Structure formats: structure tokens, C-alpha cells
Amino acid sequence: MERARKALRGDDMNEIRAAQEELSRTFGEAGQSFYAQSQAASAAPGAGPEAGPVGGETGGARPADDVVEADYEIVDEKK
């Protein structure tokens, strides 16, 4: 980040591009690491089915236990 800040203060386009590429590479690596950690957490034993798909399984969204589906009517109390 500091290299990019310094590069933006200057006029050297090559340095700006190099700093931008370095930032992109670093953020990409961080994203991959975050993704790998989240996949490992969802595949952990005892994580349960709520943790997400494991091994390429796909499934529909699971409704929360406290959700109630109901019909309703809007009543105008000014009448």
C-alpha cells in the first residue's frame, strides 16, 4: 500500500503500474487464502449441514426454524 501511495504522488507511470500490479497480486493472494480458509472451515468435521456445501454438493436454501409463512390483509383504520 505504501509503495502505491508513493507512486501516486509522483509522475512515473511505470512505477504506478508496477505498484498497481503488486497490489493486485497481493490482494489476489489474500483472496485465495481467505477462500481456502472458508472452504476448510465448512469442511471441518462437526460443522453440520448449515456450514455450506461440501465436496461439490449443491442444495437449496434451508429455511430458518422461526420463519412463519402467513397471509395478511392491510386494514385502513381511518375508516
Report yes or no on 58 lying in a domain.
no
Calculate the alpha carbon distances from 44 to 7, 36, 53, 72 in Å: 43, 12, 12, 42
Residue 38 host element (H or E)? helix 13-42
In this structure, is residue 57 part of a structural domain? no
Domain-located, residue 54? no
Asked whether residue 38 is domain-assigned, the answer is: yes
Residue 36 is part of which domain span?
A: 2-45
Residue with cell string 429455511: 63
Calculate the average pLDDT of the chain.
Answer: 78
Mean pLDDT across 15-34: 92
17 within some domain: yes
Our count of domains for the chain comes to 1
CA distance 63 to 71: 18
Please tell me the pTM assigned to this model: 0.45
Percent of the chain at pLDDT exceeding 70: 72
In a domain, 11, yes or no: yes
